[in-house]
């Protein structure tokens, strides 16, 4: 019985780069150059190698490659709530950008828990990821130092302070929140409340809200602030609390769309007409915002573009043949946000 030259040694065994080289009539090094694209190879040789790859069904051994190169070509993406459509779109933007460079990502959902976040960081480092993209919401400096001691690049999705060696991507939260509040003022609202994320978060969005009030000569009343935890249920509960005030607010700016949807739920439950009796505005412009009744006025938070920018920043630090980023350098990408006016205001 004659064995085909395209059959690997030990037919049930794994096809190796050596099998491809023998079938193509070239060295294993040449096959490696064709697959990596890092060295010039003639068009004819490239065709033979790729033909052999296809015939044998060869797939590179990623484990062996990572041991050889000390690179996993994997990026961990750590976010607080993957069910929030904003983070779903962000992670898609990261993944698409990494894919183009031959890198992969996996997503870790912390549920807003600092303990889970630290566990995911430690797990990612144990797995030998090449870098980490992470939301700033619950990150502690000790966690950042842990990543830096492991000499792994970190990109934060944040509006936090500058940290040496850490890149950040954010939208201009302050300007977006200011525009939303100014819009509510322009439509005649004077008693404008705000529903924020957890304490210590959404700082720039709160500042934009306060700045807009000050510019209009409206005194900021801390009694009109409630925390909604970034969640729909939190926004609903915060809205019930605000609507129990005397006098109640005539408009509410919510620091994200999920909380705004919850606020809309509460307004309906109370029989309040939107926007006639209470005007609402959110932040993020998730897909559901335009599908509500009435559609939600909100600030466009370019989630996919944020993910793309984060992907590019991390690739600059992990891809060997890119221009190196100076050690200790911090880069910051700030994307513009703009208000889209809809029926809720």
Residues contacting residue 230 through CB under 8 Å, at least 6 positions apart = 80, 81, 84, 112, 197, 198, 201, 255, 256, 258, 259
- Tens digit of pLDDT per residue, the chain (345 long)? 333 333 444 444 678 888 889 999 998 888 877 876 667 888 889 899 889 888 888 876 655 555 454 567 899 999 999 988 899 999 999 999 999 888 999 999 998 888 899 999 999 999 889 999 998 766 778 889 999 999 999 999 986 778 899 999 999 999 999 999 999 999 999 999 999 998 878 889 999 999 999 999 999 999 999 999 999 999 999 999 999 999 999 999 999 999 999 999 999 999 999 999 999 999 999 999 999 999 999 999 999 999 999 999 999 999 887 888 888 899 999 999 899 999 999
Return the structure tokens found at 323. Answer: 């221009």
Closest CA to 329 of 112, 164, 96, 95: 164
Report all structural domains of the chain as residue ranges with CATH numbers, in order of start. 17-60 (1.10.260.40), 70-171+304-337 (3.40.50.2300), 173-300 (3.40.50.2300)
User: Can you spell out the DSSP letters for 87-128?
Assistant: HHHHHHHHHHHHHHTT-EEEEEE-TT-HHHHHHHHHHHHHTT
Q: Record the pTM.
A: 0.73
């Amino acid at each position: 019985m004659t064995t085909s030259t395209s059959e690997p040694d030990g037919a049930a065994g794994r096809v190796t780069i050596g099998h491809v080289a023998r079938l193509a009539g070239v060295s294993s090094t040449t096959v490696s150059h064709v697959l990596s694209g890092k060295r010039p190879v003639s068009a004819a040789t490239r065709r033979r190698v790729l033909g052999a790859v296809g015939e044998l069904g060869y797939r590179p051994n990623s484990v062996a490659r990572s041991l050889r190169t000390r690179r996993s070509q994997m990026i961990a993406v750590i976010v607080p709530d993957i069910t929030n459509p904003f983070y779903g779109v962000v992670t898609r933007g990261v993944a698409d950008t990494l894919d183009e460079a031959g890198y992969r990502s996996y997503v870790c959902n912390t549920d807003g828990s600092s303990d889970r976040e630290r566990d995911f960081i430690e797990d990612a480092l144990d797995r030998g990821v090449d870098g980490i993209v992470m939301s700033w919401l619950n990150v502690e400096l000790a966690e950042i130092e842990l990543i830096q001691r492991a000499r792994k690049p970190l990109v934060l999705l944040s509006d936090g302070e500058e940290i040496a060696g850490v890149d950040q991507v954010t939208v201009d939260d302050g300007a977006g929140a200011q525009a939303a509040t100014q819009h509510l003022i322009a439509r005649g609202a004077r008693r404008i409340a705000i529903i924020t994320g957890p304490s210590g978060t959404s700082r720039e969005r709160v500042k934009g809200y306060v700045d807009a009030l000050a510019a209009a000569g409206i005194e900021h009343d801390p009694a009109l602030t409630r925390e909604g935890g970034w969640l729909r249920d939190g926004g609903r509960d915060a809205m019930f609390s605000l609507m129990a005030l005397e006098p109640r607010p005539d408009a509410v700016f919510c620091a994200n769309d999920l909380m705004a949807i919850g606020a809309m739920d509460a307004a309906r439950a109370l029989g309040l007409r939107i926007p006639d009796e209470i005007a609402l505005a959110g932040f993020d412009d998730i897909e559901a915002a335009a599908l509500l009744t009435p559609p939600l006025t909100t600030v466009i938070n370019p989630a996919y573009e944020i993910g793309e920018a984060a992907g590019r920043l991390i690739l600059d630090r992990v891809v060997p043949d890119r221009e190196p980023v100076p050690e200790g350098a911090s880069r910051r990408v700030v994307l513009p946000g703009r208000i889209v006016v809809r029926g809720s205001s």
